[in-house]
Amino acid sequence: MRNQAEGESQDLNRRDFLRTAAGAGAAMVLPGCWLSPVGDHGLTAAAAILRAAYDQSLAKVIETGFDLVPPPDVRGKRVLLKPNLVDLPREGKPVLTNPAVIVAAAEAFRRRGAAEVIVADGPALQRDAWQIVDAAGLTPLLAEHGLEFIDLNHADVRVVPNGGNLTGLETLYCSVPVLEADVVVSIPKMKVHHWAGVTLSMKNMFGTLPGQVYGWPRNFFHLRNFNDSVLDFNLTTPPDYAIIDGIVGLEGDGPIRGTPIEVGVIIMGVNAPAVDATAARVMGIRPENVEHLRRAAGWLGPIGESSIEQRGETIASVRRPFQLLAHQSALAM
């Protein structure tokens, strides 16, 4: 059997890829339009699917995922964990990344030698992220595990070039903690989304743009093109690793009004489009029919099943089709 770490070095690392390819990719587009690539254009990546439950040792589960699809080297580095803390918890509606997954990921990265692990998010529907952190029961866990939390909506900002310019914006205001992190990890909840189709690791990067600049719930971008915005964010501040909390997901009218669905998995990998495409298939959704994933194919990463090496569990063994809204029926596999 081949050495996994050695094999992973051949997989597509999004941040390294974008540093060399963003300029060429940007030349393919004009503001507000897209010349859609066909297929994955030879890009490949790996994604790991692991069975998991909130009441087990999730740090060990994530470490097993690291063995299957190694993250970037974090020894002596600052790691920023970006969960989905979109709004205050709703009874019976798993709209947030579960705190158990967040602290388990922090522990797993510390065991790999991270010098500092920070938890940070800029919630779309609350001006004070700490209200969500407190209500979700995350505050005592942060203290117990010695983790700092940063509200990205109110953090210092820096103007940076827009890596995609699909929204027609030459620059973006980005939160400094995200820009200064050595490794950014997107940790979303597995959910459907009434506009985006799915809200996974790529869509989760919406929370890195500061509300103090763009407002709540960032209608500045919603009023442009929603999918252009998702792609711009992932071309400007791409995650270096993705860990999807799919233990209990949200189906139906997501991202905040849906209903829970037990799936029992965590899905992980270096390349966000590949991880999201794998999660979509587990959800019974065809990733080629999700606009921001289809447009990412062959540029930001692969989404075709034949281009993604599935490690751990198979998609078929864990697939749990999510209920979709009527207007989303075309997304189903």
CA-to-CA distance for 275 and 94, rounded, in angstroms? Answer: 20
Residue-wise pLDDT tens digits, 114-136: 999 999 999 988 889 999 999 99
CATH of the domain at 134: 3.40.50.11440
Tell me, yes or no, whether 111 lies in a domain: yes
User: Two tokens at 31?
Assistant: 């503001």
User: For residues 48 and 308, is the Cβ–Cβ distance under 8 A?
Assistant: no
CA-to-CA distance for 102 and 93, rounded, in angstroms? Answer: 18
Domain containing 76 equals 31-331
**pLDDT (mean) for 251-264:** 96
Q: What is the three-class DSSP state of 146?
A: coil
Tell me, yes or no, whether 152 lies in a domain: yes
Tell me, yes or no, whether 20 lies in a domain: no
Tell me, yes or no, whether 14 lies in a domain: no
The proportion of the chain whose per-residue pLDDT surpasses 90, expressed as a percent, equals 82
Backbone angles phi, psi at 157, to 5 degrees: -125, 160
Tell me, yes or no, whether 206 lies in a domain: yes
Tell me, yes or no, whether 87 lies in a domain: yes
Please report the beta strands in 166-302, taking only residues with DSSP state E, as ranges in sequence order.
171-175, 183-187, 189-193, 197-199, 241-251, 259-269
Which residue, 189, 151, 186, 169, is CA-closest to 271?
Answer: 186
Tell me, yes or no, whether 23 lies in a domain: no
Q: Is the dihedral of CA 256, 262, 264, 267 positive or negative?
A: negative
Q: Cα angle vertex 222, ends 330, 154, to 5°?
A: 130
Of 18-22, 35-39, 40-44, where does the model show the most confidence? Answer: 40-44
User: Two tokens at 213?
Assistant: 């600049």
Residue-wise pLDDT tens digits, 265-314: 999 999 999 999 999 999 999 999 999 999 999 999 999 999 999 999 99
Residues 6+ apart with CB under 8 A from 148: 118, 119, 142
Whether this model's pTM surpasses 0.85: yes
Tell me, yes or no, whether 115 lies in a domain: yes
CA-to-CA distance for 209 and 100, rounded, in angstroms? Answer: 25
Least-confidence region, from 5-14, 113-122, 179-188, 295-304: 5-14
Residues 6+ apart with CB under 8 A from 124: 86, 87, 206, 207, 211, 216, 217, 218
Tally of domains within the chain: 1
